[in-house]
């Protein structure tokens, strides 16, 4: 029998949101048995507790946003991934703004804090949904494919395919959550330069930097372009570089870091199913919108199984 977990004591992390650039303080608190994972904004007069469930997600275009409108909470996926990776069943997340800080673009800062305060076992049996038959799901809008087979634990194989780009075809595998901390949590978000140039001109992604994302470049850059980008990212142009297609002053942690980060996002997004899941997942071209659709598919499947 597995028992539910929470954390021993609360912790805080402060930083800017990726898209808004606004500094937000997040406080993660212990929660009682059977509470689940929930978020609430303390900067609102009418505080609403929003549970981290796939059918409560309101937006998935540039991350996973819980709720909508006045009480929405954006970019929850990396924190959710760390909570899933550390097998935390119950936690309350409070924040004084509308977006979870991007920190370094990975789940590692959250994981380190969870490890620092410690995971506390509770006295109630963990809710685990066991996949008992092969399942197949396709999300035609993005060409994403999800297959899951019965397994006595949670495992993921992730395949991405960025044709005609410096990323190309990559695969990442996590055989068990015990591998999460070392091989998945540190992997940073990534983007193509041609995708962010229009956003930079529109003064969006205000919290983005070369310290919290890998920026891939599909074209040769002139000296003038490098100078402009160095100024945009507040870097010394003498140290600014494009190395193996990456616009950055640091190298990727792994040759397949993009695939590993997509796996990281999936670990967070699928946790919005509402509980831990035992199954072997094989996912192709995942993304937040497809991940959310797949998590909703699993929720509906579970409801039908319980009828």
Percent of the chain surpassing pLDDT 90: 71
Distance of CA 229 to the CA centre of its chain: 27
Q: How far is CA 169 from CA 115, 158, 259, in A?
A: 33, 11, 9
**Tokens linked to 283:** 């996912």
Round to whole Å and give the CA distance between 253 and 230. 22
Q: How confident is the model at residue 62 (pLDDT cuts 50, 70, 90)?
A: confident
**Considering the entire predicted model, what is its pTM?**
0.93
**194 or 303, greater pLDDT:** 303
Q: How confident is the model at residue 240 (pLDDT cuts 50, 70, 90)?
A: confident
pLDDT (average), residues 194-209: 63
Residue 171, class by beta-carbon neighbours within 10 Å (0-12 exposed, 13-18 middle, 19+ buried)? Answer: middle
Q: Where are the domains of the chain?
A: 3-127, 190-247
Tokens 């945009």: give the residue.
232
Contact criterion met (CB below 8 Å) for 200 and 13: no
Round to whole Å and give the CA distance between 51 and 299. 14
Contact criterion met (CB below 8 Å) for 182 and 158: no
Q: How confident is the model at residue 197 (pLDDT cuts 50, 70, 90)?
A: low
Instruction: Say whether 169 is catalytic.
Output: no
With a CB cutoff of 8 Å and minimum separation 6, the contacts of 163 are 169
Contact criterion met (CB below 8 Å) for 281 and 258: no
Q: Which DSSP string do the residues of the chain spell out, in sequence order?
A: --EEEEESS-EEEEEEBTTT--EEEEEEEE--TT--EEEEETTSSS---EE--GGGEEE-SSS-EEB-GGG-BB--HHHHHHHHHTT---EEEEESSSB-B-TTSSSHHHHHHHHHH-EEEEEEE--EEEP-S-EEEEETTTTEEEEEE--SSEEEEEEEEETTSSSEEEEEEESSGGGHHHHTTTPPPEEEHHHHHHHHHTT--TT--TTS-EEE--S---HHHHHHHHHHTT--TTT--EETTEESSS--SSTTHHHHHHHHHHHHHHGGGSSEEEEEEEEES--HHHHHHHHHHHHHHHHHHT-
The yes-or-no verdict on residue 148 having pLDDT over 80 is yes
**290 or 18, greater pLDDT:** 290
Q: Which of 71, 78, 261, 288 is catalytic?
A: 288
Round to whole Å and give the CA distance between 13 and 278. 30
Contact criterion met (CB below 8 Å) for 160 and 289: no
Contact criterion met (CB below 8 Å) for 36 and 46: no
**62 or 64, greater pLDDT:** 64
pLDDT (average), residues 223-248: 76
CATH 3.40.50.720 at 3-127, yes or no = no
Per residue in 151-163, pLDDT tens?
999 999 999 999 8
């Amino acid at each position: 029998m597995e028992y539910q977990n929470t954390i021993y004591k609360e912790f805080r992390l402060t930083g800017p949101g990726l898209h808004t650039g606004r500094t937000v303080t997040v406080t993660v608190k212990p929660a009682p048995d059977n509470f689940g994972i929930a978020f609430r904004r303390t900067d609102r007069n009418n505080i609403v507790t929003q549970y981290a469930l796939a059918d409560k997600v309101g937006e998935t275009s540039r991350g996973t946003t819980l709720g909508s409108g006045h009480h929405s909470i954006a970019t929850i996926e990396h924190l959710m991934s760390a909570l899933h990776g550390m097998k935390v069943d119950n936690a309350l997340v409070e924040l004084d703004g509308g977006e979870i800080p991007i920190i370094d673009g990975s789940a590692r800062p959250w994981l380190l804090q969870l490890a620092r305060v410690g995971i506390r076992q509770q006295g109630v049996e963990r809710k685990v949904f066991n996949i008992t038959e092969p399942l197949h799901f396709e999300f035609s809008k993005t060409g994403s494919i999800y297959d899951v087979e019965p397994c006595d634990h949670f495992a993921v194989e992730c395949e991405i395919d960025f044709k005609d780009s410096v990323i190309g075809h990559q695969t990442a595998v996590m055989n068990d959550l015990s591998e999460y901390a070392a091989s998945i949590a540190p992997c940073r978000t990534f983007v193509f330069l041609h995708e962010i140039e229009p956003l930079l001109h529109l003064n969006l992604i205000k919290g983005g930097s070369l310290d919290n994302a890998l920026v891939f470049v599909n074209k040769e850059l002139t000296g003038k372009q490098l100078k402009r980008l160095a100024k945009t990212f507040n870097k010394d142009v003498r140290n600014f570089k494009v190395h193996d297609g990456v616009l950055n002053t640091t190298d990727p942690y792994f040759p397949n870091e993009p695939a590993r980060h997509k796996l990281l996002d999936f670990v967070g997004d699928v946790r919005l199913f509402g509980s831990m899941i035992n199954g072997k997942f094989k996912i192709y071209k995942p993304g937040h919108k497809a991940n959310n659709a797949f998590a909703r598919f699993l929720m509906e499947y579970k409801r039908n199984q319980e009828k």
